[in-house]
Structure 1
Amino acid sequence: MKLKVQTLDATAKGDIELNDDVFGVTPRADILHRVVTWQLENRRGTARGARERSDVARTGKKFGRQKGGGTARHGDRRAPIFIGGGKAHGPRVRDFNPSLNKKVRALGLKMALSSKVASESLIVLDTFDLTEAKTKTLLAQLGKLGLGKKALFIDGDAVNDNFRKASANLIGLNVLPAVGANVYDILKHDTLVLTRAAVEKLEARFNG
């Protein structure tokens, strides 16, 4: 399919042919849900486990009389109330170990890209090149593109340095290189903006 290419000033810059195998896949909610769930599970950090009563290296010998000592009954020094004793109901290490087939992950990314094309939320720009890193200048240019509240900009190998600096203070605008393109971020934003280089990198990523 063909899509028009623009500049940051919303000036026409020709057309680009998008690969239907990457940008023309019919989205499936179940696939997208599996990939997003896998991504979010990978972000989860596990707690550092505490040593509980059975993990503490202290004597298990009964250190006092059962009765007649004038104190509570205790069987060993590993009890949580003693200094050096085991933690009562402490945090435990949980390994979620999420796994997802590579083919399903690749299919999910294709579907996320295709969903933006289907909803007409994909914009292709020639480049993100800016002569100076000025937020005010960039904001005036982006106003002509008709972006939504949240927009994701994806460049080629690396994001233009001036563009990255100028966009750093803009709320709802995020920037990634092509290698960082992922299903969760694409679906989370109202508009996806790609450069010609990003389109080439994404297509090469699947064809390679």
Structure 2
Amino acid sequence: MAELPVRNQSGEQTGTVELDDAVFGMEPNAAVMHQVVTAQLAARRSGTHSTRTRAEVRGGGAKPWRQKGTGRARHGSIRSPQFRGGGVAAGPKPRDYTQRTPKKMKRLALWSALSDRAAEGKIVVVDGWDFATPRTKDALAALAALEVEGRSLLVLGDDDRNAWLSFRNLPDVHLLTARELNPYDVLCSDVVVFTAETLPTSRVSVGAENSVEDSQ
């Protein structure tokens, strides 16, 4: 098992923690991560796009000119797709983009994403967030003390309200609770910051509750 230092928000080491190899030490499965992330992004699409066919466009009921004798191409409606203002041929219609993804695949993708970040040394563990009041300036100071740079994902506990309010206005910081942890947000982040409370200690702790999208 890999061992990581546990630090307080001032950057001082207060202990160590061992990372479970089943969660943070496996060989990342790129194919599974790709499939699950693709499904996650597809499920976010509203699918409300719509175009009108020639049957749905207003007008065009009369034949624009007689069939023969004009020297022009024959047409039956000025709402055909080739006309300006005509209908759209084979255009998009409202649809559901949801892809069904097995739970085991979602979990494997999450473990793979966490293992990838751990292999790159991008996992940070703090013993907890101690903000007396919500203050963005204190949140910035804490990240600087922990040497967290770039896009960061902070996994907070349900009771970390002051921390949530302190970090939420920072543009490069994304906040999630442990049960919302998913492969896409892990892979999008340069650094993943856990508290001692939210750090997964086994595969069970990042199991069934951590579905990619409830709608899938």
TM-score, normalised via structure 1 length: 0.77
Structure-2 change in CA distance of 1:191 and 1:122 (3 Å): same
CA distance in 2, matches of 1:138, 1:12: 18
**1:16 Cα deviation after fit:** 2.0
Gaps of 5+ in 2: 69-73, 210-216
**1:168 Cα deviation after fit:** 2.4
Deviations along 1:71-100, one digit per CA (max 9) or x if unpaired, are xx9979x989xxxxx955485323334222
**1:155 Cα deviation after fit:** 1.5
Match of 2:152 in 1: 151
Deviations along 1:96-137, one digit per CA (max 9) or x if unpaired, are 342222211110000111111111110011112311211112
Match of 1:46 in 2: 47
Q: Give the count of matched residue pairs.
A: 204
Q: 1:110 and 2:111 equivalent?
A: yes
Amino acid aligned to 2:188: K
Q: Tell me, yes or no, if the aligned pair for 1:51 and 1:90 is still in contact at 8 Å.
A: no
Match of 1:183 in 2: 183
Amino acid aligned to 1:191: V
CA distance in 2, matches of 1:185, 1:8: 23
Match of 2:173 in 1: 173
CA distance in 2, matches of 1:21, 1:157: 25
Alignment of 1:1-208 (within 5 A): 1=1, 2-49=3-50, 52-54=53-55, 88-89=88-89, 92-93=92-93, 94-157=95-158, 160-200=160-200, 203-206=204-207
Q: Which one has the largest radius of gyration?
A: 1
Deviations along 1:137-178, one digit per CA (max 9) or x if unpaired, are 2212221111121111002335x2211222222221111111
TM-score, normalised via structure 2 length: 0.74
2:194 is paired with a residue whose SS is strand
Identity of matched residues, %? 36
CA distance in 2, matches of 1:90, 1:148: 47
1:193 is paired with a residue whose SS is strand
Query: Larger RCO: Structure 1 or Structure 2 (Cα < 8 Å, ≥ 6 residues apart)?
Result: 2
Deviating beyond 6 angstroms after TM superposition, the runs of 4 or more aligned structure 1 residues are 73-76
Amino acid aligned to 1:205: V
The more displaced of 31-40 and 177-186 is 31-40
CA distance in 1, matches of 2:67, 2:34: 59
1:15 is paired with a residue whose SS is strand
Across the aligned residues of Structure 1 and Structure 2, the Cα RMSD in angstroms comes to 3.6
CA distance in 2, matches of 1:111, 1:157: 25
